[in-house]
A and B are shown apart, each in its own frame.
Chain A
């Protein structure tokens, strides 16, 4: 028998149970969760028979999609480029506004509680309203076309980056700010010389994720008239031009994949040097 007191018979006797009965509150919570899932499955009208009946049509559409119709490839390429421009422009504008908003929305840097509350609320509004809803709003207000898409992506980026920028500002060690204050640094100087340089890696990460997200969402914004390749895809599907639709889908897939790969490489390169 070991001399270690922790392994003595008394210690074995006092071993805690492997499993513990969850308290009443937790048990009720688990039951409520399962009830919610069951209700959702029922309420969503999931039908296996409809799915089974739909399989032959899926096969038919898929066969019609092959081979892809390349007759309008140059037009599709131009539209894809427009979509990419829309995503990049929207992301840049969104990031530009997200930076000052994040400073106001971070508890540690916000100059006033009222400003903090307003900024947090603005970021939440921009983030929680889905991009397609923003797109519908901008199509109605500024008209059909790429500009509505740019504004949609800018707002979406503002919400996404605003939240994560503010969180990374709150998370950093704030003690060096005290040192800079004793040097006579003002609020702007502290932001420029400590907070932004320290948050740079996290900011880069967020911006690149935001760009990937923007490229993906810019593809579907066209479905509601906010410019880009989405319009072309909708027209192809509505007019049963499945060959053209498959070409568009494949092109989108390639573009999104390329952007994601480039973003990953850029992230690695920038984060190792910054």
Chain B
């Protein structure tokens, strides 16, 4: 299902799902999903628990492989990529997890430097102290963007949930991504931190013209920070509208 969009497409769309299916054993989670993301577009993915949102997102950097169908990411067909090509592609997809999944005993700066792991040679992005000066400067600039430059040397286990999620976003930015995927990025945060993180993601994708695909249960977040809202139910896309053409009531009815 393709969304109406006014964006003029000059380069291939960052993400194309064609009849994608995914099963775990006998259970079919995704039942033929077709979806195209437009460049620079911010898309919210809605759906109740078990609808297949996380599975869909995890297919994009091929954390898990589909059972059928085709997935094109940044112009590349995932199925035919070699291990090395997949590694290079992953380096350009920023992935923000529900739980930040940082290395707790390392500093915010080193965790941000890890964003360059996919594009640097052996050992140069393992620790900020071993990284070349341009990488350290870039990582600090990414932390500055998320407002945490003054916590650069703090171990991430000493940061709050909201701060940790912002470091995870800085790490994703360090990848110089063309596409950012966020799997319920505010699910484990309090409302205020969640709002801050969503505002940050929305603003950064807009200023850097990044394509953003995030899943959420917060209908207000979908309306405020997405250009387009896609609804998933029982492994199928049943809703696809521009956010300015829908309302909170309509989105609520989608969950009923």
Residues of A within 8 A of B (CB): 175-176, 178-186, 188-189, 192-194, 197-198, 200, 274
Q: Is the CB of A176 within 8 A of B87?
A: no
Q: Is the CB of A197 within 8 A of B101?
A: no
CA distance A192 to B110 in the complex (A): 12
Chain B, Cβ-Cβ closest to A177: B101
How far does the Cβ of B73 sit from chain A's closest Cβ, in whole Å?
12
Residues of A within 8 A of B117 (CB): 180, 183-185, 189, 193
Residues of A within 8 A of B254 (CB): none
Q: Is B171 interfacial (CB 8 A cutoff)?
A: yes
CA distance A189 to B125 in the complex (A): 9
Q: Considering residues A175, A179, A194, which has the most beta carbons from chain B within 10 angstroms of its beta carbon?
A: A179
Q: Is the CB of B103 within 8 A of A176?
A: yes
| 23 residue pairs A–B, Cβ–Cβ below 8 Å | A179-B97, A179-B101, A181-B90, A182-B95, A183-B91, A183-B95, A183-B115, A183-B118, A184-B87, A184-B88, A184-B90, A184-B117, A184-B118, A186-B87, A189-B117, A192-B126, A193-B106, A193-B114, A193-B117, A193-B126, A197-B105, A197-B106, A198-B104
Secondary structure of the A contact surface, majority rule: helix
When A178-B63, A179-B95, A193-B126 are in contact, do A185 and B103 touch as well, CB less than 8 Å?
no
How far does the Cβ of A188 sit from chain B's closest Cβ, in whole Å?
7
CA distance A180 to B103 in the complex (A): 9
Q: Is the CB of B93 within 8 A of A182?
A: yes
Q: Is the CB of A193 within 8 A of B101?
A: no
Chain B, Cβ-Cβ closest to A197: B105
Q: Considering residues A184, A185, A186, A192, which has the most beta carbons from chain B within 10 angstroms of its beta carbon?
A: A184
Interface size class for chain B?
20 to 34
Chain A, Cβ-Cβ closest to B122: A188
Q: Is B61 interfacial (CB 8 A cutoff)?
A: yes
Q: Is B127 interfacial (CB 8 A cutoff)?
A: yes
Per-position binary interface string of chain B over residues 82-123, scored 1 when its CB falls under 8 Å from any chain A CB and 0 otherwise? 000001101101010101011111100010001101110011
How far does the Cβ of A36 sit from chain B's closest Cβ, in whole Å?
45
Chain B, Cβ-Cβ closest to A185: B117
Residues of A within 8 A of B91 (CB): 183-184
Q: Is B216 interfacial (CB 8 A cutoff)?
A: no
How far does the Cβ of A109 sit from chain B's closest Cβ, in whole Å?
16
Q: Is the CB of B103 within 8 A of A182?
A: no
Q: Is the CB of A182 within 8 A of B63?
A: yes
When A183-B175, A184-B87, A184-B91 are in contact, do A198 and B103 touch as well, CB less than 8 Å?
yes
Chain A, Cβ-Cβ closest to B119: A184
CA distance A198 to B127 in the complex (A): 14
How far does the Cβ of A237 sit from chain B's closest Cβ, in whole Å?
49
Q: Which of B61, B88, B102 contacts A182 (CB 8 A)?
A: B61
How far does the Cβ of B29 sit from chain A's closest Cβ, in whole Å?
18
How far does the Cβ of B185 sit from chain A's closest Cβ, in whole Å?
13
How far does the Cβ of B155 sit from chain A's closest Cβ, in whole Å?
10
Residues of A within 8 A of B123 (CB): 192
